[in-house]
Structure 1
């Protein structure tokens, strides 16, 4: 699996910060509401799955979509509670370049592994068989739906949904009970020594989220001109590929706005750049980026990717300077 791990070195820069963000506001208005929504919607998903586990159920698919929306809107916040026990990967094991998820699920189904009957123990299975992408296979993949016993398949849907809800609840609980205070109380012996290090973490989350959207959500299906890869689009089975780009950009725009607070010119620039990217995406009307093989559509998707890249440049240079923090950024991808 290619993981775009961020080796980000951020140091205080000898410039006068122009932006004046409020860390409490970022926590109260951006972070906590997203993880509360994730906990609430995944709990609903788990309850719906208990009532109707049939893959074709509109209620199940609707609950799945709403919960997945909540995760995508929070998925750039990959620090603190989401890092504990690889929770972010337990919710979202993707990209999956080796097809580990369908393989892991197919083995569970073929063996009728009894672990599917124990939601509390399900966290011990391969991380590829957990989370939103595993559940997508279970309720949308035609090949997997034909495999094994229908009742076991139903149980697996219920258990994966319950596991998602438990993971989301743990992340939310840790933010409310502990990690929000960690951001608010930096100190010499604390995880963050000062507010600048907290802002550094938040800037890294923003740059990482933009890179993941450009390199993975758009870059993977684009592939190369000679070899486009439409089947590598994120969540294509459920028709959510472009929706994830929209949700991600909207969430990242909100965080960027909070970080740029106090710098009117920079805020206006970021607002315009995010609006441009979102408008280009809306005009595409390609839910799963299947058009990457068509030269004209491909060109428009490439322009969208470049628009996201422009935002990244503004964030790494203009926003970093406005915060009094400079960012040296490398994306490392490994199998």
Structure 2
């Protein structure tokens, strides 16, 4: 009798467990296998190509800087190499995890906007230290403001451009070499060595690796998307735009070259859409498309990206000029509005569809 009751209880427990598992599968927006698939696809099709391009641009920047400072290439070539590097950086700067953050590399490569107003003093200090040491410039041990893009921007695009055969050009070579080493290290640490970061990202949950499970790795991708939208708004658009035309601050745009600020934002947005879509729709978009409770999400995300990027492309003046121009300012303000809307969709509906939660970000605003 007791055996019969026990058997029935076991049977009911098995049925209950099976039913509960089925309900959990229905309720969970993305299962572990789905997260794993997205992580692998985005790593191979988006992250690694972005860092390959960045390392190549860093190497090219160093080579062209050497040629310019040896008087074997014109200043225009150095400026073009810097613009190409900035574009490659804009295609990868949203990836705020992994080797790019080791040793604060991302800040050292592009210490902006923190470097605003500090670059000139940092350059003077670096030159003075080199003179005291009798030559040689180890910028990697100096202020972040003199280690990367903002410093090179001042040396190549500023009022006092570095001339071949001068200490300022020697400093430009040291900075470009520093950038090349950091970007090559980021790329190599993703795929090389005894513990490549790629393995930690795509096969999480083993030992002291940085991700507990596949969902945790997907969360890093989600935060890269959400947080970069916040950075574009809070750092690259709103300070220059101001609340009214009288509050506009053109000097707060990113970059010295007139075209740099908008070019960077456009590239940022293209990179974020590429992260979301993944190769052939295998990125976060694949998880959004699986949502049975929010079937409108996937087409809404596509529409939001399309319209936001179209607005950015429609701005006809450099950003520093656009924020003070009556007509173009409207486009910049509209872009800010669209970015807020896109961020809101990502932080609520996409997060829910993915089964993830975005934490507090001080850049989110109201």
Correspondence 1:127-206 to 2 at 5 A: 127-142=144-159, 144-145=160-161, 151-177=166-192, 178-187=196-205, 189=207, 190-206=209-225
Correspondence 1:263-302 to 2 at 5 A: 263-264=288-289, 265-302=296-333
Instruction: Name 1:237's counterpart in structure 2.
Output: 257
Kept in 2: contact 1:217–1:234 (CA 8 A):
yes
Structure with the higher fraction of residues in strand conformation: 1
Residues 4-58 of structure 1 show CA distances to partners (whole Å, capped at 9, x for unaligned) of: xxxxxxxxxx952169452111100010000011111110111111111369622
Instruction: Name 1:39's counterpart in structure 2.
Output: 55
Residues 71-103 of structure 1 show CA distances to partners (whole Å, capped at 9, x for unaligned) of: 110000011111111100110000036511121
Pick one of 1, 8, 22 that aligns with 2:38: 22
Query: Which runs of 5 or more residues in structure 1 are unaligned?
Result: 1-13
| CA-based RMSD | 2.5
Report the Cα distance in structure 1 between the residues aligned to 2:235 and 2:61, rounded to whole angstroms. Answer: 26
Report the Cα distance in structure 1 between the residues aligned to 2:91 and 2:169, rounded to whole angstroms. Answer: 28
Report the Cα distance in structure 1 between the residues aligned to 2:314 and 2:51, rounded to whole angstroms. Answer: 30
Report the Cα distance in structure 1 between the residues aligned to 2:212 and 2:30, rounded to whole angstroms. Answer: 21
1:80 aligns with 2:98: yes
Report the Cα distance in structure 2 between the residues aligned to 1:293 and 1:256, rounded to whole angstroms. Answer: 33
- Bigger shift: residues 50-59 or 246-255: 50-59
Bigger Cα Rg: 2
- Deviation of residue 222 (structure 1)? 0.9
- SS class of match (1:328): coil
Instruction: Name 1:64's counterpart in structure 2.
Output: 82
Kept in 2: contact 1:109–1:149 (CA 8 A):
no
Kept in 2: contact 1:130–1:163 (CA 8 A):
yes
Report the Cα distance in structure 1 between the residues aligned to 2:358 and 2:341, rounded to whole angstroms. Answer: 16
- Deviation of residue 112 (structure 1)? 4.8
The total of aligned residue pairs comes to 317
TM value normalised by structure 2: 0.80
Report the Cα distance in structure 2 between the residues aligned to 1:262 and 1:185, rounded to whole angstroms. Answer: 19
Report the Cα distance in structure 2 between the residues aligned to 1:239 and 1:205, rounded to whole angstroms. Answer: 25
